[in-house]
Amino acid sequence: MSKKMHAPSLLLTATVICAGLYAIGCYTTAYIPSPWGFGQFRPAVIIPAFFATIFGPLPAAVGAAIGTLIADSVKHGQLYLGSLIAAVPGNFIGFYIFGYILKKKFNWTRFIIASLITLTVANLIVAFLYIFVFKFLYLQALNLPLEALTYLSIGLTIWWFVTMLPFVLLVTPPLIRAVASAFPSVVPEEVRVHSLADEIPKITFSLAMLIPGLILLLIGLTTTFTILGTYTVNFFGETTTAFIELMYYLSGAVLSFLGLFALVGQKLSKSEG
């Protein structure tokens, strides 16, 4: 990436704006839960992803950590320890990684890779800290065996990943391009050049959607037709299991469709050309 550095005052301003926008965005969807009844729908991850690309790892990491704490605390009417224990470190680490990968060098392939790594690592951290440290150890609210807690943590990770990935890959790049065009002096040179000149690699983009989608469909079929379904019912009940299966099928179908659509669209554009 270009050696041009943002002024400290600009980085501080970017951190504050990132935190504020992320808090508002998170709170907007804070009451849409996962199939387990906790863990919110959060398309607002596009905000720290955007700031990580434009301003680097620290403003995005700090902004995401503060923003998620504000949103969760406002939702619960007090400083929410679950967010402090799980969401704050997960968001900080995840979006620091995102910005660090792109700070080294920017292109759209690295952006896709950064998105996949960040959403996996960040959500895994949040899920395991929230379930094991906050829910199980601190609140002692989950009377489940170790394997069920692990399954729940992985399930939450998958749910967050599949509900965030399309927004990051579909919405964030146009935002980056728009800002690079409208405010070129704010955007690092390498980001500006590549974001405006280069097309997003369609095969990489489609596989980033298609492969997780097919894996989710396979997990759904496994839950429906193997002992995994019985195991899930025993620990979480039939109603929750039905919602979990629906999550696997719907999210898998949506991601697979988006991946195939991008792949087919690329082939059609090539044939027309």
Segment 229-238, tens digit of pLDDT: 888 888 888 9
Question: What is the rounded average pLDDT of the residues 223-227?
Answer: 91
Contact assessment for residue 119 and residue 94, using Cβ atoms and an 8 Å cutoff: yes
Q: What is residue 144's three-state secondary structure?
A: coil
For residue 13, pLDDT over 90 is answered with yes
User: In this predicted model, what pLDDT tens digit does every residue of 30-78 receive, in sequence order?
Assistant: 999 888 788 899 999 999 999 999 999 999 999 999 999 999 999 999 9
Find residue 33's DSSP bridge partners.
40
Within 10 A of 33 (CB to CB), how many other CB atoms are there? Answer: 13
For residue 95, pLDDT over 70 is answered with yes
Query: Is position 232 within any domain?
Result: no
Query: Is position 57 within any domain?
Result: yes
Distance CA 195, CA 178 (A): 9
For residue 243, pLDDT over 80 is answered with yes
Q: What is residue 230's three-state secondary structure?
A: helix
Distance CA 60, CA 22 (A): 10
Number of domains forming the structure of the chain: 1
For residue 8, pLDDT over 80 is answered with yes
Q: 127: which DSSP letter?
A: H
Q: Give the residue among 3, 83, 78, 2 at the shortest CA–CA distance from 40.
A: 83
Distance CA 124, CA 110 (A): 21
Distance CA 214, CA 85 (A): 33
For all residues of the chain together, what is the average pLDDT? 91
Q: 136: which DSSP letter?
A: I
Residue 56's domain spans which residues?
Answer: 8-200
**Helices and strands, number each (H, E), in the chain:** 10, 0
CATH number for the domain harbouring residue 184: 1.10.1760.20
Query: What are the strands, taking DSSP E only, across 62-169?
Result: none
For residue 181, pLDDT over 50 is answered with yes
Query: Is position 256 within any domain?
Result: no
Query: Is position 153 within any domain?
Result: yes
Query: Is position 137 within any domain?
Result: yes
What pLDDT score does 4 carry? 57
pLDDT band at 202 (very low <50, low <70, confident <90, very high): confident
What pLDDT score does 2 carry? 43
User: In this predicted model, what pLDDT tens digit does every residue of 253-272 receive, in sequence order?
Assistant: 999 999 998 877 655 555 55
Query: Is position 178 within any domain?
Result: yes
Find residue 40's DSSP bridge partners.
33
Question: What is the rounded average pLDDT of the residues 239-262?
Answer: 90
- End-to-end Cα spacing for the chain: 33
pTM of the model: 0.90
CA dihedral for 175, 176, 177, 178, sign (positive or negative): positive
What b/e sequence results for 207-241 when a residue is b if at least 16 CB atoms lie within 10 Å of its CB, and e otherwise?
ebbbebbebbbebbbebeeeeebeebbeebeeeeb
Q: Helix H segments across the chain?
A: 8-28, 46-55, 57-76, 81-82, 88-104, 108-128, 146-182, 189-197, 202-225, 227-272
Query: Is position 176 within any domain?
Result: yes
Query: Is position 258 within any domain?
Result: no
Contact assessment for residue 22 and residue 67, using Cβ atoms and an 8 Å cutoff: yes
